[in-house]
Amino acid sequence: MKLITYRKPNSAILTGVVVQERILDISAWIAALPVSVDTHRHTAAAGIRPAACGILRWLQSGSEAIAALQRHVQSALENPAVQWDLLKDVQLYAPVPRPGKIIGVGRNYADHAKETGVAPFEHPRIIFKAASSVTAPGAPVPRPTLVTKLDFEVELAVVIGGYGKNVLEEDALSLVAGYTILNDLSAREFQLDTTP
């Protein structure tokens, strides 16, 4: 399934499932989902509320929400009265506009490390990005005045759909809810250049 966050002209931000060139609006369906026990525990510990809507709310509804959404989409496909939006008529946003966190792994591809003139790390280098850095597909990204070495990398982003800690390697994929494309921008002069 391909899930998106989008807006129709003169509408609020919506959540949808793309089927060919059509979109099934699942915003109300997601808002009605109960959140999982894990979500209640984690959000209460952090002093925040669960997401009220959108893909983040769907992710916070637990693993059963994936199968439930598949059933919901299948039911819509079988019902000729269901209204669909057209992909060509909407504005797309990031699928998860404000994720809980964004974690990257630096220089984990030997070929890319070679391309940038540095050696791969012996151990993974963890990079955190602010959730506020997420923007819509195709949206302009303003370059800060002091940044002269703006670089980009197209990344495969893994969307984690559950809570985990000390997860065994063989269980890791059970927490993956999906994948998306991420354009990772870096200010190379602050990342790589050093001064004595």
Predicted confidence (pLDDT) at residue 121 exceeds the cutoff of 80:
no
pLDDT tens digit string along 58-101? 999 988 898 999 999 999 999 999 999 999 999 999 999 889 88
pLDDT digits 0-9 by tens, 128-180 = 888 888 999 989 888 888 888 888 888 899 999 888 889 999 999 999 999 99
Q: Could you please report the per-residue DSSP string of 138-194? A: T---PPPTT---EEEEEEEEEEE-S--SS--GGGGGGGEEEEEEEEEEEEHHHHT--
Sketch the domain layout of the chain as residue ranges.
Answer: 2-93, 102-191
What is the CATH number assigned to the segment(s) 102-191? 3.90.850.10
Q: How many CA atoms lie within 13 A of 154 on its CB side?
A: 3
| pTM metric for this prediction | 0.85
Tens digit of each residue's pLDDT (9 = 90 or more) over 165-179: 899 999 999 999 999
